[in-house]
Amino acid sequence: MGGGGGVERVGIVETQKRGKARRRVLCIAQGQQRRSLAGALAPDRPLGTRASSPGVAVCGRLHALTDDPLPTFRYYPGPLADQTIEPSQIECAACGRTRGCIVTSTAYGADVPDDARFCPWCIADGSAHRLYGVTFNEVEAGAAPEAIAEVEQRTPGFVTWQDWAWPTHCEDVGVYLGQPPGEELRANREAYDALLADIAQWDWGRDMDYVRDFIDGLGGSQVAYLFECPRCSKQLLRWDID
Ligand SMILES: [Zn+2]
Ligand SMILES: [Zn+2]
């Protein structure tokens, strides 16, 4: 756990890698749309026309259920892709409203009511945190307090196998870009090297046959999580296993 390794960047390669990561987010969003949105939409609602971008299509359908544009999360640009935000008629535990979608992240805090769910707006504007002291993430040391507060208190969490903290770099918190499968990770040299350097702490992590199977199997009982420093674009990699 905790990839500290990494290699020096080359600017143009970096740009390409970021493009890959974002395309991946859109691909997952398309999958989400197929899996959950159709069944969750009320039958009397028009589904709207197909948009050219899957991500836009998902947002557009959620917008059709809500009066307000969905908030964006600076450190988590793809919450729809992970089903962290889902269409739902569940009432938000902070504003008491049913706004058409809900955040599925685990809400931590002694004062959080059992089974409480929050709408994206009440997380983004901090009202869920102010009301219940709720947090959604942990952050490693090294980031500015305001960045830590934004991720812990006003950014939804995503599903992981184990509990671990978001990585930091340049006194900021890494932007979460998703869970690259093996093929995509191999194409992201900096992230791939960071993972190899990290697992080399263990005997199995130096057995190249095992490592190849491990990378091939990413997305199953072992998952890699890709973050990117918002200041220098360094790829920050974390992983865990079931
Ligand atoms: Zn709310
Ligand atoms: Zn950085």
In the numeric block, the tokens 């095992």 are attached to: 210
pLDDT(55) > 60: no
- Mean pLDDT calculated for residue range 18-32: 32
Neighbours of 141 (CB within 10 A): 7
Whole-model pTM? 0.74
- Mean pLDDT calculated for residue range 4-33: 32
pLDDT band per the 50, 70, 90 thresholds, residue 185: very high
- Mean pLDDT calculated for residue range 132-158: 98
> Does residue 167 lie within any of the structural domains?
yes
Nearest to 104 by CA among 152, 95, 90, 112: 90
Q: What is the pLDDT of residue 68?
A: 78
Buried b (16+ CB within 10 A) or exposed e, 194-220: bbbbbbeeeeebeeeeebeebbeebee
Q: How many domains does the chain have?
A: 1
Distance of alpha carbon 191 from alpha carbon 239, whole angstroms = 11
> Does residue 4 lie within any of the structural domains?
no
Please tell me the distance between residue 55's alpha carbon and the centre of ligand 1 in angstroms: 23
Please tell me the distance between residue 9's alpha carbon and the centre of ligand 1 in angstroms: 41
Please tell me the distance between residue 194's alpha carbon and the centre of ligand 2 in angstroms: 14
> Does residue 110 lie within any of the structural domains?
yes
What is the extent of the structural domain holding 206? 11-241
Length of the chain, in residues: 242
Please tell me the distance between residue 174's alpha carbon and the centre of ligand 2 in angstroms: 8
Average pLDDT, the chain: 79
Percentage of the chain beyond pLDDT 70 is 72
> Does residue 1 lie within any of the structural domains?
no
Range in 2-16, 51-65, 71-85, 158-172 the model is least confident about:
2-16
Q: Residues with Cβ within 5 Å of ion ligand 1?
A: 92, 94-95, 119, 122
Please tell me the distance between residue 230's alpha carbon and the centre of ligand 1 in angstroms: 28
> Does residue 3 lie within any of the structural domains?
no
Q: Kindly state the tokens that stand for 11.
A: 């600017």
